[in-house]
């Protein structure tokens, strides 16, 4: 549906409910009366540009959705959206590449909002080589699909039930955040994959993250990962870019990635 055919009040109400806020709570946050907010939501009033931006800020709407609200209210979007190969984004992309490079010999990737890999460092091909279904490696390579697909990393994941539950929960949270149809379709697809008992052990009290445990070459490699995003982006593309870095948990894994890096350069 074209955004210009959607009433701005419908978008505001959609995101207010998504954030589990009452009209009174949002009105107080936006410093307007509940009556005014009610008029905005039912279409009796239209938000000004400043009001649309203020409400979208209070609702912590992604930049793409803020542009959607502005367009529905009849205003030009505030946030640019440029392709990753745009010259104006080159400094930011070079920064991302530097971060990925600095993380070697450990793997690190950059993904878009759909978790398609857009950049990876030299350690990533070591793990992609183990993928049986090579069609999964055709661009765009979706990291979540690659992790749970029976022809991808799934057969190599030692703690598959635990990892599957973690990734599906993460994807569900992304759907709450972005309200993206493609992400929703991806979640439905991944939940339909075979494998996994549907049970996973409860996290230990001192467990800070779910490890990725892969069986490679007769060894079990264990990684923890962190996700980094741009703090205050003003561009839609950059706001949806994330860097995932993987850290070896033990000496076996550290030795493996170090040896693999040396082999790759000889």
Domain residue ranges in the chain: 3-72, 87-264
Instruction: Give whole-number Cα distances, 38 to 8, 25, 34, 132, 215, in Å.
Output: 12, 12, 6, 55, 56
> What strands lie across the sheet with 212-216, from one edge to the other?
117-120, 108-111, 242-248, 219-229, 212-216
What stretches in the chain show pLDDT beneath 70?
1-4, 196-208, 266
pLDDT of residue 197: 55
> What pTM did the predictor assign?
0.86
Cβ pair 168, 190 in contact under 8 A: yes
* Distance from C-alpha of 247 to C-alpha of 241, rounded to nearest angstrom: 20
Q: Collect all residues with Cβ–Cβ distance below 8 Å to 83 and sequence separation of at least 6.
A: 89, 237
* Distance from C-alpha of 53 to C-alpha of 59, rounded to nearest angstrom: 10
pLDDT of residue 230: 84
Both structure tokens of 178? 């972005």
* Distance from C-alpha of 154 to C-alpha of 142, rounded to nearest angstrom: 14
* Distance from C-alpha of 259 to C-alpha of 257, rounded to nearest angstrom: 5
Q: What is the CATH number of domain 87-264?
A: 3.30.450.180
Beta bridge partners of 248: 223
> What are the phi and psi torsion angles at 245 (to 5°)?
-115, 140
* Distance from C-alpha of 126 to C-alpha of 108, rounded to nearest angstrom: 12
* Distance from C-alpha of 219 to C-alpha of 251, rounded to nearest angstrom: 12
CATH fold group of domain 3-72: 434 Repressor (Amino-terminal Domain) (1.10.260)
Q: Collect all residues with Cβ–Cβ distance below 8 Å to 20 and sequence separation of at least 6.
A: none
On the CB side of 201, CA atoms within 13 Å amount to 7
pLDDT in tens, 208-222: 578 999 998 889 999
pLDDT of residue 114: 93
> What are the phi and psi torsion angles at 227 (to 5°)?
-120, 130
pLDDT of residue 1: 42
Using DSSP's 3-state secondary structure scheme, residue 224 falls into: strand
């Amino acid at each position: 549906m074209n955004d210009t055919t959607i009433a701005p009040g419908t978008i505001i109400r959609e995101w207010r409910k998504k954030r589990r806020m009452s009209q009174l709570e949002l009105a107080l946050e936006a410093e307007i009366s509940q009556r005014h907010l009610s008029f905005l939501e039912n279409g009796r009033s239209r938000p000004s540009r400043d009001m649309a931006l203020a409400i979208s800020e209070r609702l912590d709407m992604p930049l793409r959705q803020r542009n959607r609200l502005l367009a529905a209210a009849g205003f030009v979007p505030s946030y640019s959206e440029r392709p990753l190969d745009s010259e104006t984004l080159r400094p930011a992309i070079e920064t991302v590449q530097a971060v990925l490079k600095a993380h070697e010999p450990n793997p690190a990737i950059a993904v878009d909002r759909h978790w398609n890999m857009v950049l990876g460092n030299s350690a990533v091909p070591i793990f992609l080589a183990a993928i049986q279904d090579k069609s999964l490696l055709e661009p765009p390579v979706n990291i979540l699909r690659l992790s749970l697909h029976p022809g991808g990393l799934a057969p190599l994941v030692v703690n598959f039930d635990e990892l599957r539950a973690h990734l599906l929960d993460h994807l569900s949270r992304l759907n709450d955040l972005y309200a993206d149809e493609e992400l929703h379709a991806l979640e439905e697809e991944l939940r339909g994959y075979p494998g996994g008992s549907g049970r996973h052990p409860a996290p230990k009290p001192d467990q800070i993250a779910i490890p990725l445990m892969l069986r490679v070459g007769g060894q079990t490699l264990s990684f923890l990962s962190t996700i980094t995003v741009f703090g205050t982006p003003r561009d839609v593309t950059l706001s949806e870019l994330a860097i995932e870095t993987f850290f070896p948990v033990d000496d076996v894994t550290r030795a493996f990635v170090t040896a693999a890096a040396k082999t790759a350069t000889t």
